[in-house]
Structure 1
Amino acid sequence: MLVAARNRWERVFCARAIERLGEVGGGPLALVAEGNEDGAALLALLKRDPGAVGLDSLLTEVNKLNGVRRLGLPEGLFADCSEKLVAAWRARAIKMYPSDFRDPAEDVRIPLLAALCSSRQAEITDALGDLLIALVQKINARAERRVERQITAEWKKVRGKEGILFRLADAAIGQPDKTVRTALYPVVGEKTLRDLVAEAKANEKVFKAKVRTTLRSSYSSYYRQMLTPLPRTLGFRCNNTAYRPVMDALALLGKYAGADGKTRFYDAGEAARLGAIDHSAPAAFP
């Protein structure tokens, strides 16, 4: 009786999915159509998890998400269905090859593909957001490590700074008429003074400025590739007015997404919007 009830419910599940898909049902079917190499390639791509955190992985996920969206699955396709049931059909479909999908009847094949594509669409969207956050953190961490190596190579921590400053003050007071080179250099040595200056310059403000410069360099030469397809694929929303400048910047990126490669600056009227984010940053085109 339980098996019969379950079979009956699954038939209802299949019929409801096919009804909601309507003419769109041909999209998932095309993935396993015989001779459709593009469909088979997309199906294989949908089954893969994101690779290591990097620009290539992010762009691959963007293409993957756009591919499944082109199937045109309606929103809320399985909204009133049990998550466990949809997950079971997804798990069943993800193990099947394109040739395996041709064995079941069409009224089973369509829900199988729809469950797989619908679930993967949501999962890829979440994965893309996580990948973006991880990539930004990776870029920042890499920039910090690079700057730390540069600063470490530039200066050596000077010990006993209080004693050195006392000796310098004593020498300056005791020989006020002599030049710095003749009065102070012999007290602690020119190299020690240079190390002190280098250490003083390596404060937090300088460190952050160097990190920002390194970040901009990495972004300008490599990571800027993700800014055109990413806003087109993911929708960003925020109700917090404190982050309104960030949302305005994203809208600006979308506005200039189709600009040719020769465009290097935003229009003068757009600079005020960017100034709300960072007054020290020029209105350079991303």
Structure 2
Amino acid sequence: MENIVNDWGLSFSDLIFLADQPDDIRLETALQLCHLRRTSRFIEDWSGLAGNVISYVASQTERPADCPKSLFDDRRSRRYRKRVAEHLGFSRPKQTDLTEFETWLLSDVVQRGTSLSEMTDLGCHWFLARKLVSPPEQTVERIVRSVRQRVLDGYLSEVSAQLSASAAFELEASLAGPRGRTGFQRLKRDVGAATLDNVLDAADRLAFIQGLGLPDHALLDIDPTWIKALVRRVEGEAASEMRLHSKEKRTGLLAIYLMSRRSQLIDGLVELLIEVVHRIGTKSKRKVVKRIAADIEKVHGKEQLLVDMATAAVMAPKGIVSDVIFPVAGAAKLKAVIDEHNAKGTLDIRIQTVMRGSYANHYRPMLPSLLSVLNFRSNNKVWRPILDALTLIVRLNEEGRRYAPAALAPDGSIPRKWREIVIDGRGRLNVISYELCVLRVRLETHTDRAKRLVSSITEAA
């Protein structure tokens, strides 16, 4: 009720004004008066007016609470609306007012990236603050749409103008051949499951985008809401629809999309890398455990066997092993115990060896592609050993080296249990094993930190 009183209450001067109006339009005039004062607009469709509002205003004017039925464009209605505007001190906007309104939209509203309905409401408040009768809501919305389109067209033209000739050519070629290696449809695809082919494919797409030299700073020239809207628009259009736009618009749209898409590809690529390394470890462990189970027979009753051996030794402390121990625990059984112990003791080494073979023979081709597109950066000292290790891996790959002095490995980059497979008997660093060690231990076991480490590339690049 409080809102109705505030929004639809009539003052003493209002009642005096209404007393001079014909009885049959007094209620209608009162409703238009309250609505204009509140919104700067006149009511065009009476059906949208709540019954309790009509009843409240009717009680103040002492008229029946009947919903008005006059047409908005009726000559008589236009005359009384003019008198209402004069009573409240409102005037019709001139062309200079409309020009000022558009200028205000350009400088203060559209840049925010708010929705069309919000911009329209802000526009009506602009007219209200200046005591101007707002054009119909549809007209205000049309003006807002026009200004929005001018802003977006201008922004896309600016982005397009900042593209190099080669980048513009590549973008046009991507739209012309949407299913090619760098085609529009392929660039929009997700990274897919964690397979070597998908890693190489995602790295290839990322390398293409990075090679375009797109103007990243352009993303800072407009509200992020607009960037998201433009990206959604490109995602929803086919290459044939994109080609219907002007050259400046389509190249600008695609450039904005790819600048945003790059960060998504980086995140997806890191996810693939971590999943691939995890899969190598899981499969290798399963394979080794299966082999161990096939190679040895588990010795049961080892605790009782130890008690029997201890009892025999105490009973004949000076006896010969073959005479005292073997009758209790035969040589074959003791050998089985030794084999089981040795197999368990070398489990980590065997798993690492199988992982190395799987990585070297199948997955290693992904590393150069990954390192060429992922630029790891961080100001956190905790990450320094990993960053130094990755830098060393890049250098050793560029030099084509299989072995390197172990002293080159940064301190803390090789865990103790990996040293036996990473550093050979001659004190050399096995490059392939070192790569696997860094990927497996330093990235895969710190998944969340690795994602944050690479997610900063877009801002830092």
> Per the shorter chain, which TM-score range?
0.7 to 0.9
Q: 1:114 — aligned with what? A: 255
Q: Does structure 2 conserve the Cα–Cα contact (< 8 Å) formed by 1:62 and 1:128?
A: yes
One-letter identity of the residue aligned with 1:5: V
**Following TM superposition, by how much is the alpha carbon of 1:149 offset from its aligned partner in structure 2, in angstroms?**
1.4
Question: Which of 40, 46, 69 is 2:210 aligned to?
Answer: 69
One-letter identity of the residue aligned with 2:362: Y
* Cα distance per residue 1:118-144 (max 9 Å; x no partner): 221111011111111111111111122
Name the CA distance, whole Å, in 1 between partners of 2:172 and 2:239.
5
Tell me, yes or no, if structure 1 residue 218 matches structure 2 residue 353: no
Distance 1:264 1:80, change over 3 A: same
Q: 1:105 — aligned with what? A: 246
Name the CA distance, whole Å, in 2 between partners of 1:174 and 1:109.
94
Name the CA distance, whole Å, in 2 between partners of 1:222 and 1:122.
27
Distance 1:30 1:11, change over 3 A: farther
Residues 249-268 of structure 1 mapped to structure 2, 5 A cutoff: 249-260=389-400, 263-266=401-404, 268=405
What's the TM-score once normalised by structure 1's chain length? 0.83
Q: Does structure 2 conserve the Cα–Cα contact (< 8 Å) formed by 1:14 and 1:111?
A: no
What's the TM-score once normalised by structure 2's chain length? 0.54
Tell me, yes or no, if structure 1 residue 31 matches structure 2 residue 171: yes
Name the CA distance, whole Å, in 2 between partners of 1:163 and 1:193.
13
One-letter identity of the residue aligned with 2:163: V
**Following TM superposition, by how much is the alpha carbon of 1:244 offset from its aligned partner in structure 2, in angstroms?**
2.7
Q: 1:135 — aligned with what? A: 276
Q: Structure 1: where are the runs of 5+ without partners?
A: none
Q: Structure 2: where are the runs of 5+ without partners?
A: 1-139, 424-428, 433-461
Q: 1:155 — aligned with what? A: 296
Q: 1:244 — aligned with what? A: 384
Name the CA distance, whole Å, in 2 between partners of 1:34 and 1:208.
48
SS of corresponding position for 1:256: helix
Name the CA distance, whole Å, in 2 between partners of 1:174 and 1:35.
90
Question: Which of 155, 161, 178 is 1:22 aligned to?
Answer: 161
Name the CA distance, whole Å, in 2 between partners of 1:53 and 1:219.
14
Q: Does structure 1 conserve the Cα–Cα contact (< 8 Å) formed by 2:280 and 2:355?
A: yes
SS of corresponding position for 2:292: helix
Farther off after superposition, 126-135 or 4-13? 4-13
Distance 1:37 1:104, change over 3 A: closer
**Following TM superposition, by how much is the alpha carbon of 1:174 offset from its aligned partner in structure 2, in angstroms?**
3.6
Distance 1:71 1:7, change over 3 A: farther
Q: 1:206 — aligned with what? A: 346
**Following TM superposition, by how much is the alpha carbon of 1:164 offset from its aligned partner in structure 2, in angstroms?**
0.9
**Following TM superposition, by how much is the alpha carbon of 1:35 offset from its aligned partner in structure 2, in angstroms?**
9.5
Name the CA distance, whole Å, in 1 between partners of 2:313 and 2:224.
80
Percentage identity across aligned positions? 29
Name the CA distance, whole Å, in 2 between partners of 1:7 and 1:119.
26
SS of corresponding position for 2:291: helix
Farther off after superposition, 142-151 or 250-259? 250-259
**Following TM superposition, by how much is the alpha carbon of 1:179 offset from its aligned partner in structure 2, in angstroms?**
4.9
SS of corresponding position for 1:99: helix
**Following TM superposition, by how much is the alpha carbon of 1:48 offset from its aligned partner in structure 2, in angstroms?**
0.9
Distance 1:30 1:100, change over 3 A: farther
SS of corresponding position for 2:336: helix
One-letter identity of the residue aligned with 2:152: F
One-letter identity of the residue aligned with 1:98: A
Name the CA distance, whole Å, in 2 between partners of 1:33 and 1:196.
68
Question: Which of 136, 141, 150 is 1:2 aligned to?
Answer: 141
SS of corresponding position for 2:217: coil
Q: Does structure 2 conserve the Cα–Cα contact (< 8 Å) formed by 1:32 and 1:99?
A: no
Tell me, yes or no, if structure 1 residue 228 matches structure 2 residue 368: yes
SS of corresponding position for 2:220: coil
Q: Does structure 1 conserve the Cα–Cα contact (< 8 Å) formed by 2:171 and 2:251?
A: no
Q: Which has the greater radius of gyration?
A: 2
Q: Does structure 1 conserve the Cα–Cα contact (< 8 Å) formed by 2:160 and 2:249?
A: no
Tell me, yes or no, if structure 1 residue 285 matches structure 2 residue 431: yes
Question: Which of 257, 274, 278 is 2:409 aligned to?
Answer: 274
One-letter identity of the residue aligned with 1:264: R
**Following TM superposition, by how much is the alpha carbon of 1:181 offset from its aligned partner in structure 2, in angstroms?**
4.4
SS of corresponding position for 1:24: coil
Name the CA distance, whole Å, in 1 between partners of 2:249 and 2:410.
56
Q: 1:47 — aligned with what? A: 188
Name the CA distance, whole Å, in 1 between partners of 2:142 and 2:393.
55
* Cα distance per residue 1:17-55 (max 9 Å; x no partner): 331442416525643449954885412221111122022
One-letter identity of the residue aligned with 1:170: T
Q: Does structure 2 conserve the Cα–Cα contact (< 8 Å) formed by 1:155 and 1:198?
A: yes
Name the CA distance, whole Å, in 2 between partners of 1:63 and 1:112.
22
**Following TM superposition, by how much is the alpha carbon of 1:64 offset from its aligned partner in structure 2, in angstroms?**
0.5
Name the CA distance, whole Å, in 2 between partners of 1:15 and 1:82.
14
For CA contacts below 8 A with separation 6 or more, give which structure has more relative contact order. 1
**Following TM superposition, by how much is the alpha carbon of 1:166 offset from its aligned partner in structure 2, in angstroms?**
0.8
Name the CA distance, whole Å, in 2 between partners of 1:4 and 1:194.
91
Instruction: Report the RMSD for the aligned CA atoms in angstroms.
Output: 2.9
SS of corresponding position for 2:375: coil
Q: Does structure 2 conserve the Cα–Cα contact (< 8 Å) formed by 1:40 and 1:98?
A: no
Q: Does structure 1 conserve the Cα–Cα contact (< 8 Å) formed by 2:157 and 2:249?
A: no
